[in-house]
Amino acid sequence: MDSPAHGKAALVTRREWIASGLAVGAASLLAVLPGCSLFVMAGKMIQGDPKHTCRFKAMTGIDLTKGKHKIMVVCSTPADLLQENSSLEYDLIDGITRRMKRRKVDAVDSKEISQWIDDHGGVGEDVSDIAQDIEADFIAWINVHRFQTKEDNAPRLHRGRMLAEVSAYRIENLGDRKLPNQIFVTEFNSTYPEHQPISENGRSALVFQKEYLDRVSELLGEIFFDKSLNDTL
């Protein structure tokens, strides 16, 4: 019959063997993971999914993903840009709004905004009028100065460029009137691809334009909601 001391020693040995096996298994798993995946997994274990704080929250301290505030996205473009891209305003409003909703931001439906723009012939010189008619706490105004998807002097090459002023307004209730008060402004400047344009032989003009609109809609949305650092790895 084994002594108590012998039984205790055997128990310790079995624990050490199990712990050793788990350590070896974990090491084997980590060894096959790419560097970024390893850091991502470690970061999630310690503090959850790491995120980059968006510019709007960093400057105002307001987190739109908490569900306490409603925001509308509006867009304005010069007349010459609308001649070449008649749906540009609507595409940007819809693209940004959809991405906001995907990130749990309470955003006014893009169809309601687009209908208001159709009925009034555009946003105008400021956002005072639309603030009276559509219920929201904030307005995100994308004022586009430049948008193109073809390379300068080379119409058979694709390169997206966009320059815009992005501002945000808090809507203050003053009795029977609402006053949009600017609380945030930043410049948006995008070039894609940065290094060299894409030949139309590899991608049609319509396909590239949709790709670039999706890209800038995501980047503009990220001004107002935090971005997961995993997306950049």
pLDDT tens, position by position, 72-107: 999 999 989 988 899 999 999 999 999 999 999 999
Q: Inform me whether the pLDDT recorded for 178 exceeds 80.
A: yes
Burial of 197 (0-12, 13-18, 19+ CB in 10 A): middle
Share of the chain above pLDDT 70, in %: 77
More confident residue, 31 or 52: 52
pLDDT at 48 (0 to 100): 57
pLDDT band at 18 (very low <50, low <70, confident <90, very high): very low
- Please name which of 198, 87, 80, 109 lies closest in space to residue 150, comparing C-alpha atoms: 198
Under 8 Å between Cβ of 147 and 162: yes
Q: Inform me whether the pLDDT recorded for 187 exceeds 70.
A: yes
Q: Inform me whether the pLDDT recorded for 29 exceeds 90.
A: no
> Of 26-35, 188-197, 215-224, which range is least confident?
26-35
Question: For the residues of 34-93, what is the DSSP string, one character each?
Answer: -HHHHHHHHHHHHHSS-EEPPHHHHHH---GGGSS-EEEEEEE--HHHHHH-TTHHHHHH
Highest mean pLDDT among 36-50, 80-94, 101-115: 101-115
Q: Inform me whether the pLDDT recorded for 69 exceeds 80.
A: yes
- What DSSP character marks residue 65? G
- What DSSP character marks residue 63? -
- Collapse the DSSP code of 215 into the 3-class scheme (helix H, G, I; strand E, B; otherwise coil) and give the result: helix
Show the tokens assigned to 34: 């790419």
More confident residue, 229 or 52: 52
Q: Inform me whether the pLDDT recorded for 27 exceeds 70.
A: no
Instruction: Tell me what the mean pLDDT of segment 9-19 comes to.
Output: 48
Cα three-residue angle 55-56-58, rounded to 5 degrees: 60
- Collapse the DSSP code of 103 into the 3-class scheme (helix H, G, I; strand E, B; otherwise coil) and give the result: coil
Q: Inform me whether the pLDDT recorded for 25 exceeds 80.
A: no
pLDDT band at 2 (very low <50, low <70, confident <90, very high): low
pLDDT band at 229 (very low <50, low <70, confident <90, very high): confident
Pairing of strands 51-52, 227-228: antiparallel
CATH architecture of 51-232: 3-Layer(aba) Sandwich (3.40)
pLDDT band at 201 (very low <50, low <70, confident <90, very high): confident
**Where do the structural domains in the chain lie, given as residue ranges?**
4-47, 51-232
Average pLDDT, the chain: 85
Under 8 Å between Cβ of 70 and 105: no
pLDDT at 12 (0 to 100): 45
Cis amide leading into 193 (omega within 30): yes
Count of all residues that appear for the chain in the document: 233
